[in-house]
Amino acid sequence: MTADFRHAAAGLRALENLSEKNTVIHQLHSFVKLTAAVVYVAVVISFGRYEVSRLLPYFFYPAILMPISETPFRQMFYRLSMALPFALFGGLANIFFDRPPMFFFGGIVITAGAVSFVSILIKTVLSVWAVLFLVSTTTIWDLCGQLIRLRVPRLLVLQLSLTYRYISSLMEEACAMYHAYILRSPGMKKGVRITDMGQFVGSLLLRSFDRAWNVYAAMKCRGFDGSFSASIGDKEGKLKFSDWLYLFSACVPAVLLRCWS
């Protein structure tokens, strides 16, 4: 379990390191990447639950952009796999309750529930991938700056940035506590006893409060006044021709495929 905590923390840092590369996609303005991701996800989830074949062309987005941005396929697939269980459990109910037959495939009856189940899986993969790709090619500070410019409440943006920034610290704290717990429990090799779980979680909560207060005190010493500066992301400047070209190339095909019947 200690290794799991460390692996998860390393995964977050690896995703953050990907956003600091210098490829053509990374150099694009964060506004166009955020807009393209929002349009792409909105179009994907707008399809009906039985329109599986019309979703397949949208795999062009990851197939083209991942090699250009030098995004590792293995890391992206690993993070996609963590979202699939939620889609699996959400779609399995359709198989049992949506029973009308839709077509036959090799003598096998394919029900409407099975088709909608596949549709949910595809939508989940495409939507989660678009968000992961956005985070892996754009720094969290550039994204927060664009969210403020889009009139997203500053408090929400601040909460998002701090959560993303310090969730790895929480994992490291839990890892240290778990390691200490194992050293004090010679008979335990893995996991926390159910009888000790309440005390473990309570201690983690108190230690998190202490860490949060120390972080807040350090931020106050550096001039933090509780607001999120809108100047974050100003270094990107105005949109260039390459930014408009990317926005056009990403959004227009997605919308046209949605309107085409």
pLDDT digits (tens, 9 = 90+) for 167-195: 767 777 787 888 787 777 766 666 777 77
Residue 207 domain-assigned (yes or no) = yes
Residue 62 domain-assigned (yes or no) = yes
Q: How many domains does the chain have?
A: 1
Residue 211 domain-assigned (yes or no) = yes
Average pLDDT over residues 40-65: 87
Distance CA 183, CA 163 (A): 30
Distance CA 241, CA 247 (A): 10
**Residue 190's domain spans which residues?**
2-226+237-259
Residue 232 domain-assigned (yes or no) = no
Tell me the pLDDT band of 61, cut-offs 50, 70 and 90.
Answer: confident
Give me 165's structure tokens: 């920034």
Q: Are 35 and 247 in contact (CB under 8 A)?
A: yes
Q: pTM of the predicted model, to two decimals?
A: 0.74
DSSP string, 131-200: HHHHHHHS-HHHHHHHHHHTT--HHHHHHHHHHHHHHHHHHHHHHHHHHHHHHT-TT-SSS--HHHHHHH
Residue 137 domain-assigned (yes or no) = yes
Distance CA 15, CA 249 (A): 25
Q: Are 146 and 233 in contact (CB under 8 A)?
A: yes
Q: CA separation (Å) from 48 to 97, 100, 115? A: 17, 16, 11
Tell me: pLDDT of 75 over 80: no
Name which residue leads in pLDDT, 68 or 6.
68
Tell me: pLDDT of 41 over 90: yes
Residue 139 CB-density burial (10 A; 0-12 exposed, 13-18 middle, 19+ buried): middle
Residue 231 domain-assigned (yes or no) = no
